[in-house]
Amino acid sequence: MAFTIKVNGNTHTVDVDDDTPLLWVLRDVLGMTGTKFGCGMALCGACTVHVDGAAIRSCITPIESVGNSAVTTIEAIGATAAGARIQKAWLDREVVQCGYCQSGQIMSASALLASNPHPTDADIDNAMSGNICRCGTYVRIREAIKQAAQSTGQGG
């Protein structure tokens, strides 16, 4: 059936089954391949996007549950204040190794910073615990989130 969804400020009408995961719609129907498939079972975080600003796992989010909510993906996160700070910090700290998990990492980190501009270590651990990195970039991820948080309120 037809669903109309809002992704990165644009409206799209897609014709898919009710239970089609948002991840499939983004990648296979809309061709937005920045969001990655890892496990398909909410275990790795590679598929993380924002729905109304909250980080969610798109692999287990059926399209019928999205409704009029605003979906934001890695393709547009740099247009948000928190996303821009996170992406700058990611580059400054050279966080990325193979890169496969990093879309999801950046989406989780951006959602954290947008809702909590000065997260504690525990806040960071809590927000990022569902994002797995097989390359082990966790130390640099934490440093980058702290750098991005320090730039909050400094015009950065």
Q: What residues make contact with ligand FES under the rule CB under 6 A?
A: 37-40, 42-47, 57, 59, 96-102, 133-135, 137
Helices (H), 25-137: 81-92, 102-115, 121-128
Taking the complex as a whole, how short is the minimal distance between the CB of residue 13 and ligand FES, in angstroms?
Answer: 24
Distance CA 153, CA 106 (A): 20
Q: From the CB of 148, what's the least distance to ligand FES, in Å? A: 18
Cβ-based nearer residue to ligand FES, 59 or 106: 59
Nearest distance in Å: CB 155, ligand FES: 30
Q: How far is the CB of 60 from ligand FES (least distance, A)?
A: 7
The CA distances from residue 104 to 32, 55, 57, 156, in Å, are 14, 9, 9, 22
Q: How far is the CB of 35 from ligand FES (least distance, A)?
A: 9
Cβ-based nearer residue to ligand FES, 38 or 83: 38
On whether the CB atoms of residues 66 and 24 are closer than 8 A, the answer is no
Two tokens at 137? 């970039």
Q: Which is nearer to ligand FES, 82 or 107 (CB)?
A: 107
Asked if residues 44 and 38 have their Cβ atoms less than 8 Å apart, the reply is yes
| Residues paired with residue 15 on neighbouring β-strands, in sequence order | 2
Of 135 and 152, which CB lies nearer to ligand FES in the complex structure?
135
Q: Using an 8 Å Cβ cutoff, are 135 and 148 in contact?
A: no
Nearer to ligand FES, 46 or 113 (CB): 46
